[in-house]
Amino acid sequence: MQKWQTLIAKALILNAMSILYNLGWRGHMCEEQCPGVLYGQNCSRVCDCRNDASCDHVTGECHCKPGFKGIHCEDTCPNGRFGVNCREQCPCTASNTARCDSETGLCSCEQGWTGVFCNSTCPDGIWGENCDRVCTCANGGSCDMKTGKCHCQPGWIGDKCEQECEPGYYGFWCKQSCPACPVHEGDIRCNLLTGLCTCPPGKMGYLCDKECPNGTYGLHCSEKCDSCFNGARCDSVTGFCQCLPGWLGDKCNVECEPGYFGENCQFKCECSNGGKCRTNDGACRCLPGYTGVHCKES
């Protein structure tokens, strides 16, 4: 209560002085308040207020704008303070904050942080001050929330993880060498993540040294063969049936026509006197009364 009484008394005294001594006013009837940067008796003194502060037309006291303090409003608020005469404390999380606006108290976050008080990390795919920048990392790469630098997945390199490991290498930063894999498509290749050999179609195993099991074919031996008959196997690369001599057709279920034998039935039998040849090897089966390799002898 006493404090308020003191302030009121001071105001009354200043008011009385301004009337008695023309403080803060000018004109024949003291009807004009001191303009701009002038103050005092008959507005004869010039204010020394800085940073766009206003001055009291009676006393010359400076009234600072938010963000400044000092007799002449010459000082900006120290870090962590804001407002009129820097009376307010910034609400920002100090360790994650780049700066607090000395006028409004708004927080500007350090790289990698966001939120009103800079207390939340950037979500995936975002980085930078106040998390205002989008990551550009490719092929599953993630970026550093502070610097934006890409951290690539195994098997990829480059500023944006856009480059696949060169043939013969795999893993993080493509620094690991592939094992002794066979040449495939002109290069030695292995899985970019695991280092396992990338086998050509029809091959399998750690070093691609095994054929596909019967009944399977293709890349990784993942395809199922159609049924192949009469002892035929399917090609481990293409999946086509590989017929034994004496047979034809997609499934090797068509025997050679009479008079022909061998692989793809491409050879003509040489049996005489009504003899018939076996379709697999062309051996003659003679009619009764004939003998010899070609049934020419009676």
**Which pLDDT score is estimated for 110?**
87
Say if residue 212's pLDDT is above 70. Answer: yes
- Residue 199: is it exposed, middle or buried by C-beta count within 10 angstroms (0-12/13-18/19+)? buried
pLDDT in tens, 141-184: 999 988 999 999 999 999 999 999 998 899 999 999 988 887 76
pLDDT in tens, 259-269: 999 999 999 99
- Residue 238 one-letter amino acid: T
pLDDT in tens, 104-118: 999 988 888 888 999
Contact in structure between 155 and 140 (CB atoms under 8 Å): no
Q: Residue 3 — very low, low, confident or very high, per pLDDT cuts 50/70/90?
A: low
Report in angstroms the alpha-carbon separations of 201 from 5, 193, 209, 237, 264. 99, 20, 12, 5, 25
Q: What is the DSSP string of 150-195?
A: EEPPTTEESTTS-EEPPTTEESGGG-EEP-SPPEETTEE-B-TTT-
What is the percent of the chain with per-residue pLDDT over 90, rounded to a whole number? 49
91-103 exposure pattern, b = at least 16 Cβ within 10 A, e = fewer = ebbeebbeebbbe
**Which pLDDT score is estimated for 18?**
47
Domains and CATH numbers, the chain: 35-76 (2.10.25.140), 90-151 (2.170.300.10), 155-196 (no CATH), 256-297 (2.10.25.10)
Say if residue 194's pLDDT is above 50. Answer: yes
Residue 163 CA from chain centroid, whole number: 13
Neighbouring residues of 29: CB distance < 8 A, sequence distance ≥ 6: none
Q: What are the tokens at 71?
A: 């007799």
Q: Residue 37 — very low, low, confident or very high, per pLDDT cuts 50/70/90?
A: confident
Write the DSSP symbol of residue 39: E
pLDDT in tens, 19-30: 555 687 877 777
pLDDT in tens, 268-288: 999 999 999 999 999 999 999
Q: How would you classify the pairing of strands 38-39 and 203-204?
A: unpaired
Say if residue 187's pLDDT is above 90. Answer: no
**Which pLDDT score is estimated for 260?**
94
Q: What are the tokens at 278?
A: 């076996």
Calpha distance 285→269 (Å, rounded): 11
Q: What are the tokens at 232?
A: 């035929």
Say if residue 15's pLDDT is above 60. Answer: no
Q: For residue 124, give the nearest of 99, 97, 106, 151 by alpha carbon.
A: 151
What is the percent of the chain with per-residue pLDDT over 70, rounded to a whole number? 91
* Residue at token pair 């006393």: 59
Write the DSSP symbol of residue 276: E
Q: How would you classify the pairing of strands 187-188 and 203-204?
A: unpaired
Q: What angle do CA 143, 147, 149 make, to 5 degrees?
A: 40
Q: What are phi and psi of 45, to 5 degrees?
A: -115, 150
